[in-house]
Structure 1
Amino acid sequence: MANEEVVILKPPGEEKPPEELVSLDELSGANDDEGQKPEIKDEIKEPKFSKKKLIIIAGVAIFVIILIVILLLLLTKKEPKHADTADLAQQIKRSYPTKNFNASNIDEMISKANELYERGDKFEALKIYENIATQSQSLSSYNLGVSQMKQGRCDEAINSFAKAIHNKENTSVSAINAAVCSLILKNDKNFNYYIDLANSFLQNEADAPLYSYYFALINYYKGNYIEALHALNHPSSEYYRDKYDYLAGKILASLGRIDEAIARLERQREFDANFTLSQLYAIKADYAKSRDYLQKAAKNTTNPDLIKMTASIIDLKTGYFSDAAGFLGEIFRLDASLPSKFYKIKAVLNPEIFDLNLAQMHFSNDMFFNKIRRYETLFYFAPYKVFNAKQTMEQIRKGGMSVFLDDTSTANEYLKNSQNISSVNYELSNAIAKALNYRLKEANADFARLVKSYPEHSILHYNLALTYAQLGNFSLAAKHFGTSYHLDPTNYLAGAFHAISTDITNTLNPKFIAQMSENLENDPNIKTPNLYNSLLDLISENSSSLVRFLEEPKEQSMLNLAFDAIIAKTISQDELMQKKTAKLVEILPDDIVANILNFIALNDENNVKKYALAVQKYFKNRKLNEESFYHGASIIKKQYIKLLQISGLLFYERDKIIAKLKNAPANTNLLSTLAYIQIFTNEFRQSFEIYNRLIDEFKVDDAGTLFLASVAATGANEPNNAIALLELTRLSDPSAIENRIALGFLYHQINNINAAITQYVQVGNTSYKSEFYDFMIEN
């Protein structure tokens, strides 16, 4: 009940606290017995009158008395005294039924009772006084209960409401409030008793203006939301609209009808609904409005800790992880149990990745507008560097792969003096051949071994970094791109890719950008615009510079064509984008990524069914290189599976891989592809088992595999296993934001708040949105 505004009920018509009641003794004081009259001590001298004057006065007095007697007899005969007072008493009872008494009613009742008393009908007057006394006592108990309820003294409030119920006044309303107090105290037995009591006495309120409201309240607390909502939509009075709207808003929220709930709560003014509205807008993911209402709620709150925890949750949802950690830390230091009492979170897989409509939208936009996917596309089409292109090509037995090679022998004079240049180039060529033949993990291992043997070679570090980038380990990619650039400051592509990798890991150093920009400006061999400056402009989103690079005549390398396609898409030059992607497909007809880019350029359909048909039509007769899907760069697996998901062919592909594994049960690339597909088919337990086998039996423990294993473990509701796997990823990919966000959510889930705070602080405030992980509120 921490986030629930308590509705303090009042009897019909009582919008202000009851006025102080006038005692019966004071009102009847004028009729005290004569023996109680004050004694007069001052002596008063009698005036002296003449005998004649006395006779005249006596005669007038007798005449007046006779006249009064005659008038009284006439009046008595016309309207008997008993009928008059009895009728008045009944009229009073009808006009002021006991259940509708409040302070102002009682004042009027006392006045009417006094009138009866003064007219001589003391019996009827005393009956009214008795009713007033009873009602006065009931109102005292009821309002005391309301006051105690407002102060949070629920035990005492229940006792006061019980006294009011005992006096048989305001029974239903008092019972409702007693039930609410019992609910706050988590006393289910008392709650059920009082809510049933309120329901049984509800018929006594049939004529009350708030009858529909009481009926709705009882059904609301009994869980009969539809019945309660029906009553609120058909009020028994046009008054009290705010009460009806407020409770209707609460019920609609409980039913998940968020937009309707917001409309009803925003329409009413009587109750402070700012906090509830903040929560409802957060559910809608309208975090700007949620923050606005939370700020309003903070100005008039009795629970600032709840406000802080709510702010923390909103910050986690919007990428302000450092700010969230600050609020969370304050509450945790105050009371370690409070964070989960307010909001018990559960780490879950992002529901967006399973939504076909969102999958389609992301598929169309991610490769161009999602920062990481855009960078992954550039890494995919980037060239490997060699010492001697001719010798390398002789060793690469795959036609067309020369487009992925960059001969840098002239830029590395220091290698000419090396006695090992021939052997290095041979091993380098073999590793590149594996990378271009989609044996990327093998190539990565070869480059890592070569770097250990020749740690001063810029080209080796560059190629190792490129394999890490294509495998999705951007921490190690940044490390080796940076080393490559420092070993050879003319290797500007290594420098630009280092900046891009650190931008992904949120560790970008502006000084590095400034230094590299200065080096480019001072290099007489580099003209403007150029690829390297433009890659830096992509990081800073300098659109005007990117447009200049797009318009510049340049070599039609794979990297240039892909970069041009990205720029053309971001500035809505669709026709130019189609030309660039068509050229990519012309050069690489069986390449999955090139064909995906071209398909996106040619199709802009919003309807998911029509889009699925377009996917099937485009790819139906194309012979794509399946080996790249099973063994190649991570971007191929990610985007091709999205393509299969949209087109409805995901289960077909899963079954095809299962069939292949019958002939090659130890093929780790097939196993990892199957495990990845099973995440998207919601077969989390099977996926987790395969990843465990890959890690334990085949020793596949790269950061990407460990992370995806944690995803499968989370889907299988194994948070502790997911945490263990993510902790292992930090050994080889310490700067991965996605991994840290996941760890933060999972530690938060198991109430290891200190560990969660550590992860959130490390992530910092960022625009990065986790692809796989999200969280939900359980309480």
Structure 2
Amino acid sequence: MADEQKEEVVILEKDDENSIVPLEELETKEEPVVEQKVQNKKNNFLMFGLIGGGAFILFIILILVLLFKNNRSSDKTPKLEPPKTVKQTEIKTFSPSKIDDMLKKANKLYESGNKFEALKIYENVAIYNEALSNYNLGVSQMNQYKFKDALESFKKAITNQENTSVSALNAAVCALELNEIQLFKYYIDIANAFLAGESDSSLYAYYNAIINYYKGYYIEALNILENAPTNKYYENQKNYLRAKILSYLYLDSDSIKALNKVDSYDVNLPLGLLEARSGNYEIAKKYLNKALVDEKNANLTKLAIALINLKTGEFAQAGMALKDINEKNETFASSKYPIKAALNPELFDLDIAQNSFDLETFFSINNIYEMLFYFAPYKVFDAKQTMDYIRKGGISLFLDENNEADEYLKASRTLSKANLNLSKAIAVALDYNLREANSQLLNITKLYTNHSILHYNLALTYAQLGNFSESYKHFITSYHLDPKNHLSGVFAIVTSTMINKENKKLIAEVIENLDQDGAAEDRDMYHAIIQLTLGNKGALLNWLENDKSKNVLNIAFGSIAGYLIGKNDTSDKKTEQLKTMLPNDILVNILNFTSKFDKNNIKEYAKDIQYNFFNNKLNKESLYGGANIIRVSFTKLLQISGLLNVQRDRIKKDLEFTNDNHQNIMQTLAYLDLFTNNYEEAYTIYNDLIDNYNMRDSNSLFLASVASIGANHPESAIGYLRLSKIIAPTSKESIFALGLLYQEVGNIDAAITQYISLGDSDFKSEFFTFNLVD
């Protein structure tokens, strides 16, 4: 809550309900209390006190601090901060009964000649009158935010041993405002010790609840409120306090119900924050927009809305709001609600991932694109020569012979040499050492810079490694070198979509060339893939019903398309075809098992995975050095079956006893570490891979940033993301993460730049979220 907004404890002496002046009869709810003199008419004394929302310290701050937290704990005691809730004013008369009785007794004693005893009573009345003056003065000083002076006034009232408990409560609030935590605890203890003196007050239960609340006994305070006698003039305060305690206990629905019973305070801000914490962002923003009328708390409300906008993908609006706040006060956002970048529990938390998993999660659009890259063929000049060289079963399924080699390569020696080098690189790729194959293809492409096939193969290895920016560069180069290499054009569209690059002209060009080339093989499939990038899933149906092709890419895309349009029987049939063609391929088997996932029979599912995947039939080298999609999909399969740590132990043994392939095994171990919460180990391994193995592709740098955030190394995460952005400048994941990290370290201007560059979109980060620092 803003600094200007303060709270005073409900300080009222015991009395009957009829002497209370209702709130609705006051001219204004936030009018400063006017100090009243004691009137000695018929010995009636009037005392004026303040009601500051019923001692609701930290309610709004607490909700906002916990608004985006993911690890909920009901027994955690929140940190005490200065009271900051909506201020209200109420007047209450003090019961004259005690004074009347004292004066009557003194008069009788005096009249009977017992002057000494009478004078003692008169002296006590004078002391009591002084206590009332000190008390009222303290309340007035609190209303003016003169907490140091108010504290001294309440000390005097306590010293006079009258009004002790309620004076101590107010003294505690003053101490809290002055950040004197030990003094705060001292006065709360005094209030508690003298509470029995208020036992005949109609507000005794209310005082008791406030004291218990301040002492951190939330359940006890809640029980007291639930059983407190009805007092129509204090139901609003009681419900507000109930709402606050319920929010501490994460009973948000009950807290909202309690707030909705409050009709004398503006509760739009706390209601908005509670709805946001419940994930009802649109409802939350409606309340918060209403709360903006409170100019004193406008920046706080704007900040709350900005944080919600970061959750709902309205990044530009969040950035503009932060900019407006930052221009007025550069420290406001960081000091009021510092955030901490965090890993998305939907991806990394085992229980949440298992409970939320469905086929839509597995078949995310990026995963689909990566599957297409995995099943796409390598192109060669002479398929027979390549197959003779590689001599590996099933190799023909992943080769596509080029029938139109450029003229300068048609000379047998040049063609043979280029094809031999290309065959060697493809052999390395198909032997699950994709990084080495990528390196070899890069060198070959430098020798033959103007050939479409070489750029296509290099682009395909980049795509399979998850480096989509580099992949796009070489796919587009391949296509421009040979517009009849339609698959290069299609994959250039796919990768440009993945890296958020404008591609309308490219799409039009590729479609036009496809339509003009009547002899193009797989033309209908290429059109279908393009329509998929445009979000037109309906176009897949016509292709699927008419496709008769038998190559691997067609069948794999058919399996995916069947799932996307709800043709599960067709999808299963295509998957079985793939399994017949590639029985030991790990991704084909993963596709097969994923389609059979049943969360209601997870034990049997896990047993089937152990039997089918933890054996020698499936080449584990494909997990270590193969395509990125293998590692991603296999990890997800292990996660939903609860076998991540089993596989992690197997990988660690391989790393210990294997002399070769250390780099690829380390990379796989680091990736699994992310999903088993071994973030520090993952961070150390990625550092080693980047520094000593020169693994500086955008995907490895990005995953290193993920490990850095998990291991609480935000500065390292920023460094890795900045390096990753050099290679992949349009990656939304990197931009969003950088924004969160810049905001975390207090560089609000840099965070604003990142958020605004994302724009208002439907982007939802797969990897990152944020919490507010307690």
**TM-score scaled by length of structure 2:** 0.81
In 2, Cα distance between equivalents of 1:187 and 1:22: 31
Q: CA deviation digits over 1:632-688, x for unaligned, max 9?
A: 011111121222233333333223222222333562111222222222222222332
1:256 CA displacement: 3.2
2:188 corresponds to which letter in structure 1? Answer: I
Q: Which segment is superposed worse, 328-337 or 538-547?
A: 328-337
Q: Which segment is superposed worse, 601-610 or 543-552?
A: 601-610
1:561 aligns with 2:568: no
Contact 2:49 2:136 in 1 (8 A): no
In 1, Cα distance between equivalents of 2:375 and 2:560: 12
1:201 aligns with 2:194: yes
Q: 2:22 aligns with which of 15, 32, 38?
A: 15
Q: CA deviation digits over 1:16-75, x for unaligned, max 9?
A: 4599989969x89xxxxxxxxxxxxxxxxxxxxxxxxxxxxxxxxxxxxxxxxxxxxxxx
Q: 1:228 aligns with which of 214, 221, 225?
A: 221
CA distance 1:511–1:171, change in 2 (3 Å):
farther
Contact 1:499 1:508 in 2 (8 A): no
CA distance 1:333–1:578, change in 2 (3 Å):
same
Q: Which segment is superposed worse, 706-715 or 411-420?
A: 411-420
Give the match for residue 552 of structure 1: 546
In 1, Cα distance between equivalents of 2:48 and 2:423: 99
1:676 aligns with 2:671: yes
Give the match for residue 255 of structure 1: 249
1:359 corresponds to which letter in structure 2? Answer: A
> How does 1:362-761 map onto structure 2 within 5 Å?
364-365=358-359, 369-410=363-404, 416=410, 420-525=414-519, 530-606=524-600, 608-609=602-603, 611-616=605-610, 619=613, 623-665=617-659, 667-761=662-756
Give the match for residue 192 of structure 1: 185
1:223 corresponds to which letter in structure 2? Answer: G
1:712 corresponds to which letter in structure 2? Answer: A
1:215 aligns with 2:216: no
1:583 CA displacement: 1.1
**Percent same amino acid at aligned positions?**
45
**TM-score scaled by length of structure 1:** 0.80
1:764 corresponds to which letter in structure 2? Answer: G
1:419 CA displacement: 7.8
Contact 2:362 2:633 in 1 (8 A): no
1:467 CA displacement: 1.1
Q: CA deviation digits over 1:308-346, x for unaligned, max 9?
A: 222222222233333322222332333332222111122
CA distance 1:761–1:451, change in 2 (3 Å):
farther
In 1, Cα distance between equivalents of 2:421 and 2:48: 100
Q: Which segment is superposed worse, 587-596 or 642-651?
A: 642-651
1:166 CA displacement: 6.7
1:15 corresponds to which letter in structure 2? Answer: P
Q: Which segment is superposed worse, 708-717 or 353-362?
A: 353-362
Superposition RMSD in Å: 4.1
1:752 CA displacement: 2.5
1:154 CA displacement: 3.9
Contact 2:594 2:637 in 1 (8 A): no
2:742 corresponds to which letter in structure 1? Answer: Y
1:628 CA displacement: 0.5
Give the match for residue 280 of structure 2: 286
1:326 aligns with 2:333: no
In 1, Cα distance between equivalents of 2:356 and 2:582: 24
CA distance 1:453–1:282, change in 2 (3 Å):
farther
CA distance 1:414–1:572, change in 2 (3 Å):
farther
In 2, Cα distance between equivalents of 1:473 and 1:139: 76
5+ residue gaps, structure 1, are 29-88, 117-121
1:290 corresponds to which letter in structure 2? Answer: A
2:438 corresponds to which letter in structure 1? Answer: N
In 1, Cα distance between equivalents of 2:738 and 2:306: 17
Rg (Cα) greater in structure = 1
5+ residue gaps, structure 2, are 27-32, 51-89, 105-109, 113-118
1:483 corresponds to which letter in structure 2? Answer: T
2:222 corresponds to which letter in structure 1? Answer: L
CA distance 1:103–1:454, change in 2 (3 Å):
closer
CA distance 1:697–1:98, change in 2 (3 Å):
closer
In 2, Cα distance between equivalents of 1:545 and 1:105: 77
1:225 CA displacement: 1.6
Contact 1:359 1:646 in 2 (8 A): yes
CA distance 1:595–1:305, change in 2 (3 Å):
same
1:257 corresponds to which letter in structure 2? Answer: L
2:172 corresponds to which letter in structure 1? Answer: A
> How does 1:236-315 map onto structure 2 within 5 Å?
236-237=229-230, 239=232, 240-315=234-309
1:152 CA displacement: 4.8
1:638 corresponds to which letter in structure 2? Answer: V
Q: Which segment is superposed worse, 166-175 or 685-694?
A: 166-175
1:361 CA displacement: 5.5
CA distance 1:128–1:104, change in 2 (3 Å):
farther
In 2, Cα distance between equivalents of 1:325 and 1:612: 45
1:709 CA displacement: 2.5
Contact 2:339 2:770 in 1 (8 A): yes
Contact 1:106 1:132 in 2 (8 A): no
Instruction: Name the structure with the higher helix share.
Output: 1
CA distance 1:578–1:716, change in 2 (3 Å):
same
In 1, Cα distance between equivalents of 2:122 and 2:567: 89
Contact 1:328 1:757 in 2 (8 A): yes
Q: 1:316 aligns with which of 310, 317, 330?
A: 310
2:444 corresponds to which letter in structure 1? Answer: L
In 2, Cα distance between equivalents of 1:183 and 1:514: 67
Q: Classify the secondary structure of the residue corresponding to 1:776.
A: strand
In 2, Cα distance between equivalents of 1:761 and 1:379: 32
Contact 1:378 1:562 in 2 (8 A): yes
Q: Classify the secondary structure of the residue corresponding to 2:599.
A: coil
1:338 aligns with 2:332: yes
In 1, Cα distance between equivalents of 2:412 and 2:314: 51
CA distance 1:621–1:217, change in 2 (3 Å):
same
Q: CA deviation digits over 1:615-634, x for unaligned, max 9?
A: 34554668212111011011
1:548 CA displacement: 1.6
2:745 corresponds to which letter in structure 1? Answer: I
Aligned residues: 710
Q: Which segment is superposed worse, 535-544 or 409-418?
A: 409-418
1:201 corresponds to which letter in structure 2? Answer: F
2:207 corresponds to which letter in structure 1? Answer: Y
Q: Classify the secondary structure of the residue corresponding to 1:757.
A: helix
Q: Which of the pair has the greater relative contact order for Cα pairs under 8 Å at 6+ separation?
A: 2
Contact 2:11 2:166 in 1 (8 A): yes
